[in-house]
């Protein structure tokens, strides 16, 4: 004779507590153990009665170093970015107002040349072309007729001509991510 344990019958109050706990975020397995209900029965009831979890906001995690040290670190990073941006703006403003191209950062050369050509005219553009000839990679900035390519093309030429510098800036060692850039 096959012996079977008697079925577990739980009251509606018990199932109400299970439902509230599950909707509050408790796991099905923990509730099945706590209330001694079958997990399959719990899932069946959840589906048939349309239980839904309440979605609440996650608490803000406390950083490992603590809020004060995090704020101090974030302020230092902010000040560094701000000061670097201001220094770049000064160099670009000088070049864009007709000053020397010598201090123009590599990755902004095409932008400055295009701006100077459009704003300062053909004479400045001709001087810029002569000055940029010292960089072999920059010779691809102009078409056969001496016209400056579009800014997107200038960026591509700069990147292609200075691949190793970009990879170094990006922290990519030799032999990895070879398709970039």
- Among 123, 87, 93, 128, residue whose Cα is nearest residue 110: 128
Between helices 151-161 and 163-170, what is the axis angle to 10°? 80
d(CA 114, CA 102): 16
Peptide bond into 118 cis (omega under 30): no
pLDDT per position in the chain (181 positions), as tens? 677 777 778 899 999 999 999 998 899 999 999 999 989 999 999 999 999 987 777 777 888 888 999 999 999 999 999 999 999 999 999 999 999 999 999 999 999 999 999 999 999 999 999 999 999 999 999 999 999 999 999 999 999 999 999 999 999 999 999 999 9
The per-residue pLDDT for 123 is 95
- Asked if residues 46 and 65 have their Cβ atoms less than 8 Å apart, the reply is no
Domain ranges of the chain: 12-49, 80-170
Burial grade of 129 (CB within 10 A; 0-12, 13-18, 19 or more)? middle
């Amino acid at each position: 004779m096959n012996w079977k344990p008697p079925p577990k019958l739980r009251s509606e109050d018990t199932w109400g507590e299970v439902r509230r706990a599950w909707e509050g975020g408790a796991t099905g397995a923990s509730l099945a153990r706590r209330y001694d209900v079958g997990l399959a029965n719990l899932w069946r009831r959840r589906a048939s009665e349309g239980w839904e979890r309440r979605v609440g906001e996650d608490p803000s995690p406390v950083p490992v170093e603590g809020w004060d040290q995090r704020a101090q670190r974030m302020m230092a990073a902010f000040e560094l970015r701000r000061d670097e941006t201001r220094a770049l703006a000064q160099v670009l403003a000088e070049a864009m107002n007709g000053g020397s191209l010598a201090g123009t950062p590599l990755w902004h050369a095409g932008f400055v040349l295009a701006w100077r050509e459009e704003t300062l005219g053909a004479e400045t553009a001709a001087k810029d072309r002569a000055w940029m000839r010292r960089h072999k990679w920059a010779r691809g900035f102009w078409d056969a007729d001496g016209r400056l390519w579009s800014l997107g093309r200038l960026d591509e030429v700069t990147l292609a001509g200075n691949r190793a510098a970009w990879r170094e800036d990006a922290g990519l060692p030799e032999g990895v991510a070879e398709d970039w850039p």
